[in-house]
Amino acid sequence: MSKYLFEVSWEVANKVGGIYTVLSSKAKYIKEKYGNDYFLIGPYLGAKTENEFHFLQPPSLFGEIISSLQSKGVMVYYGEWLIEGRPQVFLIDFQKYLSEVNYLKYELWVKFGIDSLRTGDDYNYPLAWSRAVSDFFEELTKREEFKNSLVHFHEWLSGFALLFSLNFPLIKIFMTHATVLGRSLAESNINFWEKLTTLDPLNLAYQYQIEAKHLVEKNSAEKADYFVTVSSVVKDEAEAFLKRKVDFLLPNGFDLSRFPTFEEISSQHRKNKQAILEFLLYFFSPYYKYSCPVKNSFIFFTSGRKEIRNKGFDVLLKALGLLNKKLKSENSEKNIFFFIFVPDEIKDVNHEVLNNLMVYRGLEEYLNNLKNEIDARLLHAVIHQKFQVETDDLFSKEEILEIQRILNQIKKSDRAPLSTHLLPENNDFVRILTNEGLLNREEDKVKVILYPVYLHSADGFLNLNYYDAINGCHLGVFPSYYEPWGYTPLETLAAGVMAITSDLTGFANYLEEKRLLKRDYPGLWILKRKNRRDEEVIQDLADLMLRIIKMERIERIQNKYEARVLASHFNWEEMIKNYLELYNTIFKKNK
Amino acid sequence: MKLNYLELNFSGESLSDKLFLKNKNLWLILSKEKSRFFGGFYFKNQPFRFLDSLEISSLPKEITIFSPTEIFWETDRNQIYLSLKEENCLEIKAANLEEISLSFDANFIFNDNPFLRFIKEEKLNSSTYHFFFYFDNQLIMEILVESFAPLNFQTGWFRNFLDFDSKRNSSLKEWWSYGKLTSKTNCLKIKILETACFSGEIFNLTNNKIFDFILTRLNSLILKNYLPAGFPWFFENWFRDELLSLYLLKDYLKDKKSIFSNYLFNLENKWQFNKENGILAADTLPLIILNIDEEDLAYYSVVFKKYLRFWEENFLDKNGLLKLPAKATWMDTLEKNESLEIYTLYLKALRKLAKFEKIYKEKADFYLKLLKQKIKEEYDVNLILVYFLLPEVFSKKEWLKIFDRFLVDYYLPWGGVATQKINSDKFISQHTGENPLSYHSGDSWYYLNNLLALILKDLNEKKYKFTIQKIIEASLTDLLKDGVLGFSSELSSAKERKSEGSLIQTWSMSSLLLLLSSFQNPDIFFKSLSD
Q: Which residues of chain B have pLDDT under 70?
A: 199
Q: Do B113 and A116 touch (CB under 8 A)?
A: no
Helices (H) and strands (E) in chain B, counts: 16, 21
Residues of A in contact with B113 (CB under 8 A): 102-103, 105-106, 109
Among B509, B399, B400, B516, smallest CA distance to B469 is for: B516
Chain A residues in contact with chain B using a Cβ-Cβ cutoff of 8 Å: 101-103, 105-106, 109-110, 116-118, 206
Question: Residue B46 has what pLDDT?
Answer: 93
Task: Say if strands B174-192 and B138-147 run parallel, antiparallel, or are unpaired.
Answer: antiparallel
For residue A120, what is the nearest residue in chain B, using CA coordinates?
B115
Sequence-separated contacts (24+) of A439-443 with Cβ below 8 Å: A439/A415, A440/A284, A440/A287, A440/A415, A440/A416, A441/A415, A441/A416, A442/A287, A442/A288, A442/A289, A442/A290, A442/A416, A443/A328
- Find residue B5's DSSP bridge partners: B10, B65
Q: SS3 string of A252-283?
A: CCECHHHCCCHHHHHHHHHHHHHHHHHHHHHH
CA angle B356, B358, B364 (to 5 degrees): 100
What pLDDT is recorded for position A518?
A: 83
CB-based contacts of B313-318 (< 8 A; 24+ apart in sequence): B314/B272, B314/B280, B314/B282, B315/B282, B315/B342
Amino acid identity of residue A148, one-letter, is N
Other CB atoms closer than 10 Å to residue A449's CB: what's the count?
A: 25
A vs B, Cβ pairs < 8 A, gives 27
Q: Do A101 and B115 touch (CB under 8 A)?
A: yes
- Cβ separation A109–B159 shorter than 8 A: no
Q: What is the DSSP string of A102-148?
A: HHHHHHHHHHH----TT--HHHHHHHHHHHHHHHHHHHHTTSGGGTT
Chosen for mutation from B115, B136, B155, B171 (greatest number of chain A CBs closer than 10 Å) is B115
pLDDT at B432: 95
Which of A101, A109, A206 faces B114 most closely, judged by CB atoms?
Answer: A109
Pairing type for strands B444-445 and B491-492 reads: antiparallel
Contact at CB, B115 and A206, closer than 8 angstroms = no
Please report the pLDDT score of residue B199 as a whole number: 65
Backbone phi, then psi, for A274, in 5-degree steps?
-60, -45
Kindly report, residue by residue over B382-392, the tens digit of the pLDDT: 999 999 999 99
Contact A440, A272 (CB under 8 A): no
**Dist. CA A323–CA A306, nearest whole Å:** 23
- In 3-state terms, what secondary structure has residue B42? strand
Output the pLDDT for position A165: 97
Q: Return d(Cα A451, Cα A344) in angstroms, integer.
A: 8
- Give pLDDT tens digits for B489-498: 999 999 999 9
Q: Are A32 and A24 contacting, i.e. CB atoms less than 8 angstroms apart?
A: no
The C-alpha of B228 sits at a distance from chain A's nearest C-alpha, in angstroms, of 30
Q: Cβ contacts of residue B190 below 8 Å, gap of 6+?
A: B40, B51, B89, B90, B102, B143, B144, B145
Beta bridge partners of B411: B417
C-alpha to C-alpha distances, A53 to A14, A210, A299, nearest whole angstrom: 10, 33, 40
Q: Do A102 and B176 touch (CB under 8 A)?
A: no
Q: Are strands B504-505 and B230-231 parallel, antiparallel or unpaired?
A: antiparallel
Mark out the alpha helices in B250-316 (DSSP H runs): 256-264, 267-270, 284-291, 294-299, 301-315
Provide residues of B within 8 Å CB-CB of chain A. Answer: 112-116, 136-137, 156-157, 159, 176
Handedness of CA B57, B34, B135, B502 (dihedral sign): negative
Check if the beta carbon of residue B267 is closer than 8 Å to that of residue B288: yes
Cβ neighbours of A118 in B, within 8 Å: 156-157
> Can you give the pLDDT at residue A194?
76
Please judge whether A109 and B115 are an interchain contact, meaning their C-beta atoms are less than 8 angstroms apart: yes
Q: Across the interface, do B114 and A117 touch by the CB < 8 Å criterion?
A: yes
Q: Which DSSP helix (H) or strand (E) runs through A190?
A: none
Instruction: Determine, for residues B159 and A105 on separate chains, whether the beta-carbon distance falls below 8 Å.
Output: no
Give A200→chain B minimum CA distance, Å.
17
Contact residues, chain B, for A117 at CB < 8 Å = 114-115, 157, 176
Give Dmax over CA atoms of chain B in angstroms: 77
CA neighbor of A450 nearest in space, from A435, A441, A438: A438
Mutate to test the interface with B, among A97, A99, A101, A102 (most CBs of B within 10 A): A102
Q: Residue B475's Cα: distance from chain center in Å? A: 13
CA distance B344 to B352: 12
User: What is Dmax (Cα atoms) for chain A?
Assistant: 95
CA distance, residue A117 to nearest chain B CA (Å): 6
Is the four-CA dihedral A493, A495, A499, A503 of positive or negative sign? negative
Residue A25 φ/ψ, nearest 5 degrees: -80, -25
Per-residue pLDDT tens digits of chain A, which is 591 residues long = 678 999 999 999 998 878 998 999 999 999 999 999 999 999 999 988 888 899 999 999 899 999 999 999 999 999 999 999 999 999 999 999 999 999 999 999 989 999 998 999 999 999 999 999 999 999 999 999 999 999 999 999 999 999 999 999 999 999 999 999 998 998 887 777 778 888 899 999 999 999 999 999 999 999 999 999 999 989 999 999 999 999 999 999 988 888 888 888 888 888 999 999 989 988 998 888 877 777 779 999 999 989 999 899 999 999 999 999 999 999 888 899 999 999 999 999 999 898 888 888 888 888 888 888 888 888 888 887 666 667 777 788 888 888 888 888 888 888 899 999 999 989 999 999 999 999 999 999 999 999 999 898 888 899 999 999 999 999 999 999 999 998 899 999 999 999 999 999 998 889 888 888 888 888 999 999 988 999 999 999 999 999 999 999 899 989 999 999 999 999 999 999 999 999 999 998 887
Q: Do the Cβ atoms of A206 and B136 come within 8 Å?
A: no
How far is it, in rounded angstroms, from Cα A428 to Cα B65?
59
